[in-house]
Amino acid sequence: MVSQQDDAPEAGYDPMRQFAELAGDVRDPYPMFAGIRADTPVLHVELGAGSGVRYRHDENAPRISSLFTVTSYELAQQVLTDNARFSSAGYEMTMGQVMGRTILQMDAPEHQRHRALVAKAFRTRVLDQWSDAIIGATVGELIDGFAGDGHADLIPQLTFPFPVRVIARILGLPEADWPRFLRLSTQLIAVMRNWEGALAASRELRGYFAEIIADRRRHTRDDLVSQLISAEVDGHRLSDEEIYPFLLLLLPAGAETTYRSSSNLLFGLLSNPDQLEAVRADRSLVPQAIEEALRWETPLLTVARSATEDVELGGVRIPAGSFVAISLGAANRDPGQHAEPDAFDIFRERTQHISFGDGAHKCLGMHLARLEMRVLLNAVLDRLPGLRLDPGADDPHIHGLIFRSPPNLPVRFD
């Protein structure tokens, strides 16, 4: 088993700084999205032959010369549920370069086959087992670290470490390895910022996972890696080469999104104290608070597809092969779907959102994400009485254009 070394590079490593940089310093992209949506539901930007952006950071990578961005809820749904005309294969040029072949980049029928195998490990029966033993225990330990202080910054002290630790536990990784796992996870996730660092982290994680998988093949345990090894659909099982990419995908897909969505939920409630008090008094409101937070500030703003044939969408012609960005953030704030979309309102009639995507690739971890947010919010309400934003906090806010969440959340409690 691989364990942390004394001279490990995680000493002095500050993952929070890397994440703050990654989110970008855009405070409020929503007026821009609203302007585009009012103008056209599908924005076409021609970048010009030879001058377009690259999918990946090498000289030979193809350039994208034409971009289509979908901003309406209805059309976003239409694209995401039409996997025949809008393929996910383009992820091979981005995420695929650091993770290997994941289900994210597969199209039918390969996608269905593969997803059925990994989905077995995310059934609600399995999740129920994790609820107290893993998720509750993780939140409890983190809150223990500051509950006696009367104040905290909920991002570095709670929401940031929370989901990576949950994943480390779900995978059954020894506690001594967590700091190293956290560093490698953060470097992998920061792929848009530091390509070489992400590739190096991916190689190291692969070596690390190889030992874990070999260990579980020898001694089956009650963890996700053992479940992936034994999952079987129509006589097919996952090979090690198929398990690595899935484990690597869990980090950006499962850790970063959940840290940001939990942070946005706490931010939404703390900046609307009447709604925070309503949820504190009536916990049956927790699920709708979670859905509204996901709608209001989706942690991941955009997903991508490419057109497999010439398509007409919202009156705009999209040539075969074009890159199509689906703005989940813009779709969630579409006034055609939600009245007063910019308001955080847990009492709105419909909180239906598209933050987990839609169609065949709809988030595999959405039940886990909701469970994590629920356990976290209930623990915060139970253990931090009188929770409020620190009146001396220096301008708490949500920011980001690729991912969104608050960089800090200083609070006080009694």
Residues of this chain that bind ligand HEM (CB under 6 A) = 88, 103-104, 115, 249-250, 253-254, 257-258, 261, 299-300, 303, 355-357, 361, 363-365, 368-369
| Least gap, CB of 256 to ligand HEM (angstroms) | 9
DSSP character string of 336-399: TTSSSTTS--TT-S-----TT--GGGS-TTHHHHHHHHHHHHHHHHHHSTT-EE-TT-S----B
Give 117 or 387: the residue with its C-beta nearer to ligand HEM: 117
Are β-strands 66-70 and 323-327 bridged in parallel, bridged antiparallel, or unpaired? parallel
Closer to ligand HEM at the Cβ: 254 or 341? 254
Shortest distance, position 402 Cβ to ligand HEM, whole Å: 13
CB nearer ligand HEM, residue 257 or residue 327:
257
Q: Which is nearer to ligand HEM, 42 or 388 (CB)?
A: 42
| CB 367 to ligand HEM: min, Å | 9
User: What is the gyration radius of the CA atoms in the chain, in angstroms?
Assistant: 21
The least distance separating ligand HEM from the CB of residue 381, rounded to whole angstroms, comes to 19
Tell the burial category of 348 from Cβ atoms under 10 Å away from its Cβ (0-12, 13-18, 19+).
middle
Instruction: Specify the residue, 9 or 330, whose C-beta has the smaller distance to ligand HEM.
Output: 330
Written as one string, the DSSP assignment of 75-106 is HHHHHHT-TTTEESGGGGGTHHHHH-S-GGG-
To ligand HEM, the closest distance from the beta carbon of 105 in angstroms equals 8
Beta strands in 206-282 (DSSP E): 232-233, 236-237
Q: How far is the CB of 163 from ligand HEM (least distance, A)?
A: 7
Indicate the burial class of 249 (C-beta count within 10 angstroms; 0-12, 13-18, 19 or more): buried
CB 387 within 8 A of CB 366: no
Residue closer to ligand HEM by CB (options 104, 201) is 104
Residue nearest to ligand HEM (CB): 365
Phi, then psi, of 72 in degrees rounded to 5: -95, 150
Cβ within 8 Å of residue 40, ≥6 positions away: 71, 314, 316
The token pair at 142 is 């983190």
Rounded to the nearest whole angstrom, what is the least distance from the CB of residue 380 to ligand HEM in the complex?
A: 17
**CB of 41 or CB of 299, closer to ligand HEM:** 299
